[in-house]
Structure 1
Amino acid sequence: MGEILWQPSEKRAQNSTMMQFMNRINAAYNKNFKQYADLYEWSVENIAEFWAEMWKYADIVHSRAYDQVVDDPGKMPGAKWFVGARLNFAENLLRFRDDHTALVFMGESMPVRRLTYAELHRAVSRVAQALKKLGIQPEDRVVGFMPNMPETIIAMLAGASAGATWSSCSPDFGIQGVLDRFGQIQPRVLFTTDGYFYKGKHIDNLERVSRILQELPSVEQVVVVPYTTENPDIRNVPRAVLYADFIAGTSDDAEIDFLQLPFEHPHYIMYSSGTTGPPKCMVQGAGGVLIQQIKEHMLHVDLKREDNLFYVTTCGWMMWNWLTCALSRGATITLYDGNPFHPDPEVLWRLAEEEKITIFGTSAGYIAALRNAESRPGSSYDLSGLKAVLSTGSPLDTEGFQYVYREIKEDLQLASISGGTDINSCFFLGNPMGPVYTGELQCRGLAMKVKAYDENGHPVYNQPGELVCEAAVPSMPLYFWNDPDGRKYHSAYFDMFPGVWAHGDYIEINDHGGVIIYGRSDATLNPGGVRIGTAEIYRQVEKLDEVEDSIVTGYRVDGDEKVVLFVKMKPEYELDPDMEKKIKTTIRENTTPRHVPAKICAVPDIPYTLNMKKVELAVKKILHGKAVLNKEALSNPECLAFFEEWKDWL
């Protein structure tokens, strides 16, 4: 068991929305729950009742009530949720129309912008009117090739008001990466910008958009939002119109016609990473994503109207979708576009101070990079209003936990959260009523019937196993695009354990309900037949000041798998025999001899996806002489050449 790093005060726990919800369940069902574990067990054993209570507690805006919460929560895939209900996703996010700040936006080289809820409503109305003139119908695809800026949210909500299905890519995607995604779903309208800023550089977007359109004939209208220049030249972009011209002639005070649609109306199309082939297109329902994300915001994050929620994300990562849904609670959300370390490592903490951010969301990689930069935000900025830090994307190591409490703030909830694009939400989250333990995710999410299975499909505790979900969740995909018989969907999650969702993570659930994530199952190491999660090795390597980054994989030799560790050394250090010995000793002393790499190699860079996840499988393929498909899914594909050079030396 890890060390307790934080415990909420009695007042904070009692005032949390989670506590209030638990008291509501106690009163309604004659229970006497005292702690989260009791509420969790009730939620997974009474799934229909839980979601019925969540519907009421969240005050879901609807025009017709449901006839049935769920037909069969054990049916996966195919469970039907809130049958008979009619609602609109955008209407739920635009329920407030006052002068409370809805959006704060800061981009590199740009002044801060703010929109109130009233201004946001008017902006969405004007784009919705323009889309209506184009004849946009329910399930037409409206897409964004956009930075993380207000107009992206406005376009999504405007489309959703008419029942359009939204999908997005961030502008750092290459041409082929965009076509691999949008080419499958054939959008009618594309929103984009003239360019964007990254690391202080202006990067043009319009030439790439023109090339994308050559392969995307379904697009009838391109809407260009001026971002890097006031009046961009769009003459060479087919079917393009500037944003101001697109909404010209629309009314500034027109009511939005929120089309009332079924709970499972297709709202989002999300994508798998695409590192092993063309990305899978996962279609998710409006109501399912809405109620699931509201549950997480209200109960697990303890988000309230007075909060300012920030997340470091792009429009190509599910955390953008997750962040956006916080509008349904009337909170302020802060958007940032650009490099989070430009012009220096503390740019986001200045933003946190200036905007009085109360919930700061980021990735484990960002926290590690802050630590390596020896940044001390808590000493330099007024973070008195900061009540929580959220971390996701990859496992946060012990040093990361300790760094947050040492250098950012002692009295805050550090919630390491984990889920997936597949469900547009989380399996594991924070619990504002409970303690934070070093290296652990606090809890399994309410109504998420998650367990760790051994290879025989039996639940295990206090030892690693496969992450599975034994009951349906409203935000699970309705279907995969271009998968008429459902085979791709079934093989993605249900081949390993029939009727049970296998997510592909290697985890451990301990006695007090905490969770440790060891990495992706398909990247799990297997030396001598013993399964080892990659995160177990990363946790040790990240303790070493000399190493900037690393990636570990397995390499088969004579029927056995050898562990190979690649390290990116900090500029002032090199991987000499003494350093190699230090790495191996650190790993051996803190884990087992089986964790010690058979080979340690120095490389100048580590490959990541566009969503900043290490791609162990790509490296493993290279070492075994296999081609890496879809390099467009990587943020730095050029670094794969270094691993090609190493494969002949192993």
Structure 2
Amino acid sequence: MDWKSPATDPASSTSQANVFNGSDEAISESQLTSFTAELSRQTGLAFSNYDSLHAFSVRDYRAFWKCFVNWLPGFEIIEGTTAICVGDECESAYFFPDLQLNYADKLLDLSVASAGEPAVTACFADGTRWALTRGELRDRVARLAQALSDLGIVKGDCVVAVMRNDAMAVIAALSVAAIGATLATSSPEMGSPALLERFSQLSPRLLIAHTTTRSFDNGVPLTNKITELAANLPTLVNIINLDDACPPLDTHLPCFSARALMERVVPARIVWTRVCNSGGLFHGSCLTGFMG
């Protein structure tokens, strides 16, 4: 299979040269080559280059994506029970509406990449770094997810978070996904009125937040914002603090340290809750910042 671009014709307005061409060995061992071979086996068609593969994905997209999902480790489409795509219009078509999976479990699947592979490196303003391997990240996510479950957070509950862009934010977000709850986030720089407007419509049961003031913070102290949020979100039952130092909050709600919660639970107890693809784990605003 020829995945390399031919020399481009400068006179052609549509020709494009690859910025990089991998070695023949790298191409033959790539996931794309593996998937294309499986697609060829299932369809009986030959895909000699990118153009032929892309043309098939457009022409017969249901067969293409069915093969892709079945090719992925840990996925299986059961004939007659899993819809590939509902609708034929680009604006309204929905792929795999009844396929169930656990986002965090699949993202941190150690059969895809080993536990020792790097996952997250958090870089702080003072120059320090905190690096986590995939195994370490999965362990921390499982621990916090079990702690959330022990606090009564269940599939379908809404969790809101005011988080900085660091590794604890990643752990928190994935732990919420691990138990099938939904997450909406905002940055600490937002003012209290904007935070309340964003979160009050969601009826959240849990607030996760960084609360320690940093040297680069401006305006209203973060503890004041979190306290005001807690006082004006009547459905909240608990608060989890992501910082090592937990400044006291003027609230009647129970406040827990995320690190303390992770230390006291057994990660093997966690049940990675599968949710239907037609649901939603992340509200739109959560893509701002750490998930961007």
Give the TM bin, normalised by the shorter chain.
0.7 to 0.9
Residues 98/126 of structure 1: CA separation in 2 closer, same or farther (3 Å cut): same
1:87 is aligned to 2:101: yes
Equivalent-residue separation in structure 2 for 1:30 and 1:235 (angstroms): 64
2:39 to 25, 28, 32: 25
1:460-539 correspondence to structure 2 within 5 Å = none
Residues 103/255 of structure 1: CA separation in 2 closer, same or farther (3 Å cut): farther
2:183 is aligned with what amino acid?
W
1:439-489 Cα shifts (integer Å, max 9, x gaps)? xxxxxxxxxxxxxxxxxxxxxxxxxxxxxxxxxxxxxxxxxxxxxxxxxxx
Residues 7/235 of structure 1: CA separation in 2 closer, same or farther (3 Å cut): closer
Structure 1 residue 50: Cα displacement: 1.4
1:146-225 correspondence to structure 2 within 5 Å = 146-195=163-212, 197=214, 201-202=216-217, 204-225=221-242
Equivalent-residue separation in structure 2 for 1:239 and 1:251 (angstroms): 21
Equivalent in the alignment of 2:6: none
1:49 is aligned to 2:66: no
Equivalent in the alignment of 2:19: 6
2:151 is aligned with what amino acid?
L
Residues 5/125 of structure 1: CA separation in 2 closer, same or farther (3 Å cut): closer
Bigger relative contact order (CA 8 A; separation at least 6)? 2
Equivalent-residue separation in structure 2 for 1:39 and 1:320 (angstroms): 34
1:109-151 Cα shifts (integer Å, max 9, x gaps)? 1521122333223222222222122221221111221112222
Is the Cα contact below 8 Å between 1:170 and 1:316 reproduced in 2? no
2:109 is aligned with what amino acid?
R
Equivalent-residue separation in structure 1 for 2:202 and 2:258 (angstroms): 27
- Runs (5+) with no aligned partner, structure 2: 1-12
Is the Cα contact below 8 Å between 2:242 and 2:259 reproduced in 1? no
1:134-145 correspondence to structure 2 within 5 Å = 134-145=151-162
Residues 171/118 of structure 1: CA separation in 2 closer, same or farther (3 Å cut): same
Is the Cα contact below 8 Å between 2:184 and 2:283 reproduced in 1? yes
Is the Cα contact below 8 Å between 1:187 and 1:218 reproduced in 2? yes
Structure 1 residue 13: Cα displacement: 4.8
Equivalent in the alignment of 2:51: 37
Is the Cα contact below 8 Å between 2:212 and 2:246 reproduced in 1? no
Structure 1 residue 41: Cα displacement: 1.6
1:261 is aligned to 2:292: no
Structure 1 residue 15: Cα displacement: 4.8
Residues 256/144 of structure 1: CA separation in 2 closer, same or farther (3 Å cut): same
Structure 1 residue 257: Cα displacement: 0.8
1:412-451 correspondence to structure 2 within 5 Å = none
Equivalent-residue separation in structure 2 for 1:129 and 1:42 (angstroms): 43
Equivalent-residue separation in structure 2 for 1:172 and 1:23 (angstroms): 49
Residues 259/224 of structure 1: CA separation in 2 closer, same or farther (3 Å cut): same
1:24 is aligned with what amino acid?
E
Residues 263/110 of structure 1: CA separation in 2 closer, same or farther (3 Å cut): same
Which stretch shows the higher mean deviation, 165-174 or 74-83?
Answer: 74-83
1:553-593 Cα shifts (integer Å, max 9, x gaps)? xxxxxxxxxxxxxxxxxxxxxxxxxxxxxxxxxxxxxxxxx
Equivalent-residue separation in structure 2 for 1:168 and 1:148 (angstroms): 11
1:43 is aligned with what amino acid?
S
2:185 is aligned with what amino acid?
S
Residues 36/249 of structure 1: CA separation in 2 closer, same or farther (3 Å cut): closer
Residues 189/253 of structure 1: CA separation in 2 closer, same or farther (3 Å cut): closer
Which stretch shows the higher mean deviation, 182-191 or 241-250?
Answer: 241-250
Is the Cα contact below 8 Å between 2:176 and 2:183 reproduced in 1? yes
Equivalent-residue separation in structure 1 for 2:270 and 2:107 (angstroms): 13
2:253 is aligned with what amino acid?
R
Residues 118/31 of structure 1: CA separation in 2 closer, same or farther (3 Å cut): same
2:158 is aligned with what amino acid?
R
Structure 1 residue 177: Cα displacement: 2.8
1:146 is aligned with what amino acid?
M
SS at match of 1:115: strand
Residues 85/135 of structure 1: CA separation in 2 closer, same or farther (3 Å cut): same
Equivalent in the alignment of 2:5: none
2:46 is aligned with what amino acid?
N
1:132 is aligned to 2:149: yes
Residues 109/252 of structure 1: CA separation in 2 closer, same or farther (3 Å cut): farther
Structure 1 residue 18: Cα displacement: 3.0
1:236-277 Cα shifts (integer Å, max 9, x gaps)? 255252425761773244332112333323212114xxxxxx
What TM-score comes out, normalization by structure 1 length? 0.38
Residues 119/259 of structure 1: CA separation in 2 closer, same or farther (3 Å cut): same
Equivalent-residue separation in structure 2 for 1:151 and 1:124 (angstroms): 10
SS at match of 2:236: coil
Equivalent in the alignment of 2:9: none
Cα RMSD after superposing both structures: 3.1
Structure 1 residue 192: Cα displacement: 0.8
2:149 is aligned with what amino acid?
K
1:234 is aligned to 2:248: yes
SS at match of 1:68: coil
Is the Cα contact below 8 Å between 2:146 and 2:269 reproduced in 1? no
What TM-score comes out, normalization by structure 2 length? 0.78
Higher strand share: 1
Is the Cα contact below 8 Å between 1:65 and 1:85 reproduced in 2? no
